[in-house]
Amino acid sequence: MPLLTIATFLPILAGLALMALPDRSTKKAHTVSIAATGAVFLITLGIWARGIVAGDFAQVEEIAWIPAIGAAYRLGVDGLSLPLVLLTSLLFLLSALYSARIGERAASYVVLMLMLETASLGTFMALDGLLFYVFFEVSLVGMYFMIAGWGYEERQRAALMFFLYTLVGSLPLLLAIIGLYLGSGTFDMRVWVEGTTLGGLPAMLALIAMLVTFAVKIPAFPVHTWLPAAHVQAPTAGSVILAGVMLKFGTYGLVRFAYQMTPEAFAQAGQVILAFGVVSALYGAFAALAQSDLKKMIAYTSVNHMGYVVMGVAIAALATEPRIRTIALDGATLQMVSHGLVTGALFFLVGMLQDRAHTRGIGDFGGLLGRVPWLGWAFILSAFASLGLPGLAHFPAEFQIFLATLNGMPWGLIAILAIVVTAALYLRAIAGVFLGEMNDKWADMPDLDRREKLVVLPLLVLTVLIGVAPGWLIDMIHTTMTGLGN
Amino acid sequence: MEMGRDLALLAPELTLAAAAMLMIVAEMFRAARLVLAIGLAGLAAATLLTLPMLSVDATVFGGTYRIDLISGWAKLILLPGTALSLLLVRAEITGRPREGSVQSLVVLVTLGALMLSGAGDMMVVVIGVVLTGLGSFALVAWPRDDAATEAAMKYLVFGAVTGSVMIYGLTFWFGGTGSTLFSELGQLQGQTLVTIAGLIAIIVGLGYKGSLVPFHFWAPDAYQGAPVSIAAYLSVITKAAAFFAFAQVLRDLPRDGGWPLALAVIAAATMTYGYLAALVQTNLVRLIAYSSVAQSGYFLMGVVALGASGFAVPGILVFAAAYVAMNLGAFAVVLLAGRDLGDLEGFGRTRPWLGAAMVVFLLSLTGIPPLFGFVGKFYLLSAAVEAGYLWLAIIGVLNSVLALGVYLRLMVPMYRTSSTEHPSEVGAVLTQGTVVVTVLATLLIGLAAGILPGP
C-alpha cells in the first residue's frame, strides 16, 4: 500500500470532503479534522513500522508526472525525513484537538489546517525537486491565510510580512532548482543528493541561493525578523505548526539540499555558515531575554535553538573525521525533533494561558502555580527542557552538537553562553508567572481541562522519553547519518 | 492536389471563417442568440478539427502559413479562450443594441490571431496585425461613450503608427533575403544593419500587440474604456497571438544579431514597469491591465531564449494557456464584483466561492505552485537560465515579489468585513460558468502538466 501518498493526501481530501458537505457546522468540521489528522498519525506510525534502510531512501513511491522534463511524483523517507514526518503528524493531531474550541468559521479553519498538513508532509517526503517546491510554497499560502484569518489584533500586517518575507526567501531556491535540473536533466532528488550535479561556481551560486531560502525559513540572524511578528499574531495552533513543523523546512532543506547537493561548496562556505549559526544562537537567546511577552520570548528561543542546528550542519561539513560528522548530523536532526516537541508544548501552554487571561505579559501574572498546578508544572517542565536540562529532550541533541563543535571548530563553543542566557530567561519567566505573589485578578483561573491535558501530555511524555532514553530515535536518525557523514 | 492538401490542413481556420460570415448574416436579422450559437459551434468545431493535427509539421500556400506545434497549440488555447470570452460578452451586454456585431467581431479578431500564430511570411503577419487591429478598435469603441471613443482613438492611432513602422521595416528583411518567407531569414547572417532594421519593425509591430513597454500606453486606456468582457478578451487573445507570432518570426533569425539581448532588456523593463504601475492603481480594470503588461515581460523571456533552449517554445505555449485561463477568470470575477478596488471589500466573505476562485487566479498570476501559472513561469525561467540569461531569470523572480504585492492588494480587502452589498446580477450564470471553467483549468492543468508540450 502506498502509505506515504495516503498520509500526504488524506488531509487535503478530508478537507475537500468537508467543503462538499452541505452541513459544515463547527462540530462536524472539528470531527473531520480530528479524525483525519488521527488517521494520518496512525498511518505515519505504519510508515515508521515499515522502517528505513541505510544509505538510500526507503518506501519510494514514484509515478510519472511531466515526463518531458524528467519531473515525477516521487516520495520516500530516510532517517532525516522520517522523524520529521512523525513529528508533523503528531503536532497536527494535537493542534486539531486543541483547536476544537474555535468557533469562528471553523470549516475554513479546518480546511486550511488540513491543507497545511498535506503541504508539510509532502515537503518532508518529496524526492522530486519540483514537487518539493510545490509543497514548500503551498505551505506558505496556507499559513498566510491562517494568520490573516484567525490571528490576533495586528494579524493583517504580520501575515503580509510573513508572506512577503518567506516568498522572497523561497524564490532563490527556485533558481537553484532550475540550476540543478539543467545540470542533471532530471528533478530526481536521489540523483541530486549524490552531490556531483554541480561543481565550481554554479555549485557555489546554487548554494548561496539555497542558503538564502533556508536561512529565512529557519530563521537565522539577520533574516529572522518575520518570526516574532508572525508568532505573536498567529493563532495558537498556527504558532505550534509554524515553530514545530515549518521552521524544520529550513533545517531539513539545509541538510537535504545545501549539505547534500552541493557538498564541496558547503564545506568551502562552512566557516561562514557556522558563524551564522553561532550568531543566531547567541542573538536569539539575548533577544528572548529582552522580551516581556511570553509568546515573543518563546519565538526568539526558536531562533536560538535553530542556530544550534545550523552549527551542527556546518560542523558536519567542516570536520574531516567521519565520526565527528555523524555525531554533528545526529545532533542536528535530533535537535529539530526536540525543538518541535518542546516548543510545540510551550506554545500550546502559552495559548492556554492566553485563553484564560487574554494577556501574555510576564508582568501581568504571578504565583499561578498554586492556582493552576497542571498548567504550571507542564510549563516548568517544558521550559527546563527548552533550556537544555539533562534528562530532557534538548540535552542529548545539544550535547552531540557541542561535542562535535569541540572536536571540529572549538571557537564555535562560545555559543554555549546562550545556554546560560536561556536558563536565565526561563527562570525569570517561571518566577514571574508561576511563583511569587499571586495576582488576585486570576484567583478563579481554571486549571487545564481534560482536552487540554490530552494535548500537552503526549509532548511532555516524549520530551522526557527522548531525554532519558533517546536511543530509539537516534538509532533511526543514525541509520542515515552514518552514510551522510562519510 | 496540392491545393486540396492545403485546404484540408486549414480546416480549423476555414471553419472559423465560415462561422464568422454566418454570424454576420445572422446579425443582419438581429438574432443575437443565433449569432452566439453559431460562434460557439464554430469555435468548438474548429477546436475539434485541430486535435488530430497536433503532431503535423507542415506549411501551406508555399510556406507562407505554418501548421506546426505553435499554431496547433495556439488554436487549442485561443479558440476555447474565445468561446469563454463570447460567454462573458453575452453576460455583460445581453439585449443591448448590436450585441451580435460584437460577437462576430470577436470571432473575426480571433481569426486574425490564428493568422499571427501560424505566420510563416511577413505578409501574413501584416494581415494578422491588421485583422486583429481593425476588429479590436471597433470592439473598444462599442459603448459609444466618451471614454470608449477616446480609448479606441488612442488605440487606432497607436496601431496605425506602429503598423506602418512595421511594414516599412520589414521591407529591409525583404531586401536582404529576396523573399518574404521567414524560413529564409537565415540568409541575413552577417547583414547586421538589415537584421536590426527588420527586428525593430517586428518589435514595434508585435510589441504593440503584446503591450510591451514602451508600446503599452494604449492598453490601460483601451481596457478601461471597453466593456469588461472585451478588455478580458483583448488582454488574453490578441496578446497571446502576438507572442506566438514572435516565436514564429524569431525562431528562424540567427541569434548572433544581438536581438536576444535587446529583447531581454525590454522583457525586464516590461515586467518591472508593469508591476510598479499596477501597485498604484485603484481601478481594478487598470490594475489588471498593468499586471497583464507585466505578464508580457514573462512571455518575452521565452522569446529571448528561442533557439537556445528547448524550454522556449513550450514555455510560451504553456504560459499562454495558463495566462488565458487565469486572466479571463480574474476579469470574469471583476465583471461580477465591480470595476473599482473598493468593490472587492468583503467580497470573499459575502461570496466565498467566487472569492476563493479569485484567490486562485491571483496566486496563479503570481506564480505560486502548483497552479497553472507556476508551470508556465517555471518553463520560461528555465528557458532564460538555459539560454544564458540568468540575470533576466533573477529579475523575473524578483518581480514575482512585486507581483505578490500587487495581487495582495486585491486579496486582503476581499476578506475584510464590510457592509458592501454584492448582489447577483443579470447574466451572472454565464459569468459564473466561465469562472468555474477557468478556475478548474488553473487548478488542475498545472498538476497534469504532462499533457502539455514539453522540451
CB contact under 8 A, A178 and B393: yes
What is the per-residue pLDDT for B421? 67
Q: Is A59 helix (H, G, I), strand (E, B) or coil?
A: strand
Q: H/E element holding A396?
A: helix A394-408
**Residue A438 DSSP one-character state:** P
What is the per-residue pLDDT for B446? 83
What is the residue extent of each domain of chain B? 258-455
Nearest CA in chain A to B403: A164
**A178: closest CA of chain B, how far (Å):** 6
Q: Is the predicted pLDDT of residue B426 greater than 70, yes or no?
A: no
**A323: closest CA of chain B, how far (Å):** 40
B353-406 pLDDT, tens digit each: 888 999 999 999 998 888 999 999 999 999 999 999 989 998 998 898 889 889
Q: Is the predicted pLDDT of residue A229 greater than 90, yes or no?
A: no
CB contact under 8 A, A174 and B386: no
Intra-chain end-to-end CA distance of chain B, in Å: 35
Confidence of residue A307 (pLDDT cuts 50, 70, 90): very high
Query: Dihedral through CA B161, CA B166, CA B169, CA B171, nearest 10?
Result: -120
What is the per-residue pLDDT for B5? 86
What is the per-residue pLDDT for B423? 63
Whole-number Å distance between alpha carbons of A125 and A3: 11
Nearest CA in chain A to B411: A145
What is the per-residue pLDDT for B427? 57
**B136: closest CA of chain A, how far (Å):** 37
DSSP string, B385-427: HHTT-HHHHHHHHHHHHHHHHHHHHHHHHHTS---------TT
A218 and chain B in contact, CB less than 8 A? no
- List Cβ neighbours of A109 (8 Å cut-off, separation of 6 or more): A29, A99, A102, A146, A149, A150
B250-308 pLDDT, tens digit each: 988 888 778 899 999 999 999 999 999 998 898 999 999 999 999 999 999 999 999 89
Mean pLDDT within B137-147? 91
Nearest CA in chain A to B390: A175
| Best to test chain B binding among A178, A186, A210 (most B CBs inside 10 Å) | A178
A16 and chain B in contact, CB less than 8 A? no
Confidence of residue A197 (pLDDT cuts 50, 70, 90): confident
Whole-number Å distance between alpha carbons of B311 and B302: 8
Q: Is the predicted pLDDT of residue A425 greater than 90, yes or no?
A: yes
Q: H/E element holding B66?
A: strand B65-67
Whole-number Å distance between alpha carbons of B317 and A319: 49
CB contact under 8 A, A174 and B381: yes
Beta carbons within 10 angstroms of residue A39's beta carbon = 17
What is the per-residue pLDDT for A88? 96
Q: Is A444 helix (H, G, I), strand (E, B) or coil?
A: coil
CB contact under 8 A, A141 and B368: yes
CB contact under 8 A, B454 and A137: no
Nearest to A69 among B394, B404, B454 (CB): B454
Query: What does the mean pLDDT of chain A come to?
Result: 91
Whole-number Å distance between alpha carbons of B267 and B319: 15
Q: Is A393 helix (H, G, I), strand (E, B) or coil?
A: coil
**Amino acid found at A288:** A
Do the beta carbons of residue B326 and residue B365 sit within 8 Å? yes
CB contact under 8 A, A178 and B449: no
- Cβ neighbours of A138 in B, within 8 Å: 368-370
Beta carbons within 10 angstroms of residue B421's beta carbon = 7
Whole-number Å distance between alpha carbons of B172 and A282: 68
Degrees to nearest 5, angle at CA B118 with B114 and B121: 125
What is the per-residue pLDDT for B153? 92
Confidence of residue A30 (pLDDT cuts 50, 70, 90): very high
Chain A with chain B: Cβ pairs closer than 8 A: 71
Confidence of residue B425 (pLDDT cuts 50, 70, 90): low
A356-393 pLDDT, tens digit each: 888 888 888 888 888 899 999 999 999 999 999 999 99
Least confident of A162-166, A273-277, B1-5: B1-5
Nearest CA in chain A to B311: A69
What is the per-residue pLDDT for B95? 82
Whole-number Å distance between alpha carbons of B107 and B320: 19
Do the beta carbons of residue B298 and residue B319 sit within 8 Å? yes
Give the distance from CA A179 to its chain's centroid: 27
| Best to test chain B binding among A62, A165, A170, A171 (most B CBs inside 10 Å) | A171
A258-270 pLDDT, tens digit each: 999 999 999 999 9
Query: What does the mean pLDDT of chain B come to?
Result: 90
B251 φ, ψ (degrees, to nearest 5): -70, -20
Percent of chain B with pLDDT over 70: 98
Percent of chain B with pLDDT over 90: 63
What is the per-residue pLDDT for A270? 92
Mean pLDDT within B175-187? 88
What is the per-residue pLDDT for A359? 87
State the maximum Cα–Cα separation within chain B, in Å, rounded to a whole number. Answer: 69
Mean pLDDT within A225-241? 89
Query: Dihedral through CA A299, CA A301, CA A302, CA A305, nearest 10?
Result: 180
Q: At what angle do helices A81-99 and A322-357 cross, to 10 degrees?
A: 0
What is the residue extent of each domain of chain A? 269-486
Mean pLDDT within A448-477? 93
Q: Is the ipTM of this complex over 0.90?
A: no
What is the per-residue pLDDT for A412? 86
What is the per-residue pLDDT for B422? 64
- Cβ neighbours of B450 in A, within 8 Å: 64-68
CB contact under 8 A, A141 and B398: no
CB contact under 8 A, A65 and B404: no
Confidence of residue B329 (pLDDT cuts 50, 70, 90): very high
Nearest C-alpha neighbor of A154 from the set A207, A85, A230, A218: A230
CB contact under 8 A, A156 and B385: no
Q: Is the predicted pLDDT of residue B189 greater than 90, yes or no?
A: no
Beta carbons within 10 angstroms of residue A23's beta carbon = 8
Whole-number Å distance between alpha carbons of A434 and A446: 14
Q: Is the predicted pLDDT of residue B424 greater than 80, yes or no?
A: no
- Cβ neighbours of A148 in B, within 8 Å: 412, 415
Q: Is the predicted pLDDT of residue A441 greater than 90, yes or no?
A: no
Mean pLDDT within B410-437? 77
Do the beta carbons of residue B320 and residue B77 sit within 8 Å? yes
Nearest C-alpha neighbor of B357 from the set B429, B427, B411, B408: B411
| Best to test chain B binding among A63, A65, A66 (most B CBs inside 10 Å) | A66
- Cβ neighbours of B271 in A, within 8 Å: none
CB contact under 8 A, A164 and B415: no
Q: Is the predicted pLDDT of residue B199 greater than 70, yes or no?
A: yes
Here the cell at position A171 is 524564490
Q: Is A248 helix (H, G, I), strand (E, B) or coil?
A: helix
CB contact under 8 A, A182 and B369: no
**B329: closest CA of chain A, how far (Å):** 20
**A419: closest CA of chain B, how far (Å):** 38
Confidence of residue A399 (pLDDT cuts 50, 70, 90): very high
B4-41 pLDDT, tens digit each: 888 899 999 999 999 999 999 999 998 889 999 999 99
Count, residues in chain A? 486
Nearest CA in chain B to A177: B382
Nearest CA in chain B to A20: B353
CB contact under 8 A, A179 and B385: yes
Query: Please, which residues 422-481 of chain A have a Cβ atom closer than 8 Å to chain B?
Result: none
Q: Is the predicted pLDDT of residue B420 greater than 70, yes or no?
A: no
CA distances from B256 to B173, B189, B262, B307, B308 (A): 16, 8, 12, 11, 11
Which sign does the torsion angle of CA A207, A212, A217, A218 carry? Answer: positive
B397 and chain A in contact, CB less than 8 A? yes
Count, residues in chain B? 455
